[in-house]
């Protein structure tokens, strides 16, 4: 578990979204510089930003569903994964594992943008794609952090908080989306039971992390 492997925290987690932003600034600078390398259609760049957003949101879903919730036979892999996500399921108040760190973000960002460059052979479009991914990734980090720090009564934040509560307490194999319901609906893991649940104060208090 992460409490007995503190060395993992430095490289694989961040304390809060502000620290995440500091860590991804070099990537942000690279993607923006690539986007303005030369003149290109603004519409085309917007399309590739959107493709980047979709790519990272889909990656978020598949990672949560197939990586974090699979009981792998390999002991080393299980040890690593259980140090974060499964640990999070059992220790909701440990804020140290709410946000990802350098060695979880950079490898995936490099892999996806390199793949896109080989597909389109265009640095600007690759930069736009990378920017879309990075923006959505940072959006995810903020959402996951703040739904664990405050109780929301209405709007999108209230909905996604209940969605997350339902996944934690009632159907761990449903509602994997941390920021959107779209991919759960597409891939058949959506459960609207969260709309009918009256979460008690103890459950909400458990979700809310207090330092």
Helix and strand tally (H, E) in the chain? Answer: 10, 2
Cα 85 to Cα 106: distance, rounded to the nearest angstrom: 19
Share of the chain above pLDDT 70, in %: 74
Q: How many CB atoms lie within 10 A of CB 22?
A: 10
Cα 144 to Cα 100: distance, rounded to the nearest angstrom: 10
The mean predicted confidence, pLDDT, of the chain is: 81
Which residue do the tokens 């490898």 mark?
Answer: 107
- pLDDT score, position 3: 45
Length in residues, the chain: 211
Domain ranges of the chain: 6-207
3-state SS of the chain: helix, strand, coil percent to 5?
70, 0, 30
* Tokens describing residue 73: 């036979």
Worst-scoring range by mean pLDDT, 106-120, 150-164, 172-186? Answer: 150-164
Query: pLDDT category, 97, cuts 50, 70, 90?
Result: low
Share of the chain above pLDDT 90, in %: 39
Q: The whole model's pTM is what?
A: 0.82
Query: pLDDT category, 2, cuts 50, 70, 90?
Result: very low
Is residue 119 over pLDDT 70?
Answer: yes
Contact of 97 with 2, CB cutoff 8 Å = yes
Kindly give, in sequence order, each residue whose CB lies less than 8 Å from that of residue 148, ignoring residues fewer than 6 positions away: 92, 95, 98, 207, 208, 209
- pLDDT score, position 201: 58
Worst-scoring range by mean pLDDT, 2-11, 72-81, 122-131? Answer: 2-11
Q: How many CB atoms lie within 10 A of CB 150?
A: 10
Contact of 139 with 60, CB cutoff 8 Å = no
- pLDDT score, position 67: 72
Question: DSSP per residue over 30-78, as a string?
Answer: HHHHHHTSS---HHHHHHHHHHHHHHHHHHHHHIIIIITT---S-HHHH
How do residues 140-174 score in pLDDT, each as one tens digit?
Answer: 989 988 888 778 888 999 899 889 888 877 888 89
- pLDDT score, position 29: 95
């Amino acid at each position: 578990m992460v409490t007995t492997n503190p060395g993992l925290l430095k490289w694989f987690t961040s304390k809060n979204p502000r620290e995440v932003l500091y860590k991804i600034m070099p990537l942000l600078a690279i993607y923006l510089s690539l986007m303005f390398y030369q003149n290109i259609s603004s519409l085309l760049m917007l399309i590739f930003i959107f493709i980047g957003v979709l790519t990272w949101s889909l990656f978020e879903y598949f990672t949560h569903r197939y990586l974090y919730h699979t009981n792998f036979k390999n002991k080393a892999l299980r040890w690593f994964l259980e140090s974060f996500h499964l640990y999070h399921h059992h220790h909701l108040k440990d804020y140290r594992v709410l946000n990802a760190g350098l060695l979880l973000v950079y490898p995936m960002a490099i892999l996806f943008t390199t793949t896109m460059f080989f597909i389109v052979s265009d640095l600007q479009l690759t930069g736009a794609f990378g920017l879309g991914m990075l923006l959505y990734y940072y959006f995810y980090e903020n959402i996951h952090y703040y739904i664990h720090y405050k109780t929301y009564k209405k709007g999108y934040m209230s909905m996604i908080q209940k969605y997350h509560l339902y996944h934690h307490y009632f159907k761990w194999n449903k509602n994997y989306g941390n920021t959107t319901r779209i991919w759960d609906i597409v891939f058949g893991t959506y459960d609207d039971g969260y709309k009918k649940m009256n979460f008690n104060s103890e459950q909400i208090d458990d979700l809310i992390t207090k330092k």
